[in-house]
Structure formats: C-alpha cells, structure tokens
Amino acid sequence: MAAPQAPSRTSATLVTFTPGARTNWHTHKTRQVLVATQGTGMGQVKDKPPRILHAGDVAEVPPGLVHWHGAVAGHLSAHISFVETNGPDNTS
C-alpha cells in the first residue's frame, strides 16, 4: 500500500483476487478508482448490472455507493485501488 503523504490524501493499493473471490458489499466516504492490471475481474454497484474488467480498464465508484469487486469464476484478477482519504485520521 502507498499511504498518502501530505499534502497528498490519496492511497494506492494493489489487490489480487483468486478465481471467484470478491469483496463483501461496502462503501467508501470518497471516490474509489480501480485500475485493472491482470486477469478478468468484475465489479458491481448496487442496483446496476455487473461490469467485467480486463487489464487496462478503469472503473470509478462515486462516494457512498454500495458496491463490490473481485475476480470472475475461473480467473485470477488484480487491480490497483486509489482512494482519497477523508481527513486527518486517514479514513476513506
């Protein structure tokens, strides 16, 4: 993880999913940007259809939207997650 260093408030994390693995439904207080780097991934914002992500694809999740992301069954997936921290306590 690349933690923000003032004056920057943006963190970057490389996340790898085994085939079929995914996060639980969750939210962030600030925008999240996912840059797919490997394999075939998928993400979904609640009440929207899932989106397939291939290396080089970029997905943006606005603040406060319930969503999940992970790997398609049978495929590894990796992405870099960029999230801006929300304040001095570095929470997103």
CA Rg value for the chain: 13
Which CATH superfamily is 10-84 part of?
Jelly Rolls (2.60.120.10)
Residue 89 has pLDDT above 90, yes or no: no
How high is the pLDDT of residue 85?
81
Return the domain boundaries, the chain. 10-84
Q: What are phi and psi of 73, to 5 degrees?
A: -55, 135
The reply to whether the predicted model has a pTM over 0.85 is: yes
Separation CA 46–CA 38 (nearest Å): 24
How high is the pLDDT of residue 43?
97
Per-residue pLDDT tens digits for 14-73 = 999 999 999 999 999 999 999 999 999 999 999 999 999 999 999 999 999 999 999 999
pLDDT band at 2 (very low <50, low <70, confident <90, very high): confident
